[in-house]
Amino acid sequence: MNSVHQKHIKKAVDLAKLALGNCAPNPAVGAVVVKNGRVIAEGYHQGPGQPHAEVMALSQLDDDVARGATLYVSLEPCCVHGRTPPCTELIIKKGIKTLVYSYIDPNPNVAGLGINALTAAGIECIPMESEEINDLYRAYHYWWTHRLPWVQAKIALSEDDKIAGKNGAPLKITNDKVNLITHQFRQQADAIVTSAKTIINDNPSLNVRLNGIHSAKPVCVLDRQLTISPSATIFDTAQEVILFHGENHRNDALAAKASTLIATPETQEGLCLHSVLQHLGELGFHKIWIEAGGKLFKSFIDERLVHEAYIYSSSQRLGRQACAAGFIKKEIVDTASSADVKVIDDNSIYKLYFSD
């Protein structure tokens, strides 16, 4: 494998990650332009309606500077008119000599056609896989294949499988290093999903807090009877609040506060979770991050709707009066296709994989 190509593709992937979780329904993409062994421009897609990575990078360069350069992109350049013109047209116009790309776009309107257009224009196109590329585009590929989001779910358990204090009072179960990881997962997800019970009991912010910066994410609340308070913190901290509710329930105060209310079919257990995921897929969310109590966490697991689950396991015991998760850690771990365990001081993170 060409080590120079590998280095620049890794940089393109790293740039793409800067906006991961902010681009849906578009993919996160990074681009690097190299000429005579020197990086002369970089760019990454920052969100819908914003310039694509290739455009951001190439627009920094005069045509005579770009001519003969090599363009590295994490994803195949688009060749269709959307909110922005096709990237392939600009790449050809700028006189790029070689394109090195790491992933074929699963969008059927693009898949392979972008590479074909560039090849037909005399541009050498070189595929270059990287270790991280499948992880970067796993959710995007899944969304195009199934029109459903990739589902990650998290829960924190004490040593004795409790999730909260007496009568559900919120408690800090895991350490600060583990909690930081939660914010990293939130950042890379397109939306955060939670339950009405979690909002009522904990009144969380459910935003991203990293490096002293607070950033908002879309928050989706499963609230069958529309019972959360219109003064809940999420209405101030979320980018938007989407409420999923039963078809025969109405709450004008919440309707005035939420960005969207979606009437959802019900089952004996509550809202139909598969219908919730279908709606989220229709909204263009590639990846969702579920933070809720034991009941909703286990329901998603039991219905085989989770792709990755993260159990944060603390060494502390909360005792008989604490609120139980409703399951024991071992029974969830045993249902997984495979599991990894990472120890962080006095806590452990179980990463569980489930077959699609």
Question: Which residues carry out catalysis?
Answer: 54
| SS3 assignment, position 146 | helix
- Per the rule left: phi > 0, alpha: psi between -120 and 50, beta: everything else, 346 is alpha
Please report where in the chains the tokens 């502390």 appear, as a residue: 316
Give the ranges where the chain is alpha helix by DSSP (H). Answer: 3-17, 53-58, 63-66, 87-93, 113-120, 133-146, 176-188, 196-202, 234-237, 252-257, 273-282, 294-302, 329-335
CA distance 160 to 291: 20
The DSSP output letter for 167 is G
- Per the rule left: phi > 0, alpha: psi between -120 and 50, beta: everything else, 239 is alpha
Copy the structure tokens of residue 144.
Answer: 């195009």
- Burial tier of 211 (Cβ tally within 10 Å: 0-12, 13-18, 19+): exposed
CA distance 296 to 305: 11
What are the φ/ψ torsions at residue 64 (nearest 5 degrees)?
Answer: -70, -25
Number of Cβ atoms within 10 Å of the Cβ of 313: 22
What are the φ/ψ torsions at residue 299 (nearest 5 degrees)?
Answer: -65, -45
Vertex 270, ends 268 and 271: CA angle to 5°? 120
Number of Cβ atoms within 10 Å of the Cβ of 14: 16
Vertex 282, ends 21 and 202: CA angle to 5°? 55
Please report where in the chains the tokens 């910066």 appear, as a residue: 213
The DSSP output letter for 27 is P
Copy the structure tokens of residue 230.
Answer: 């219109």
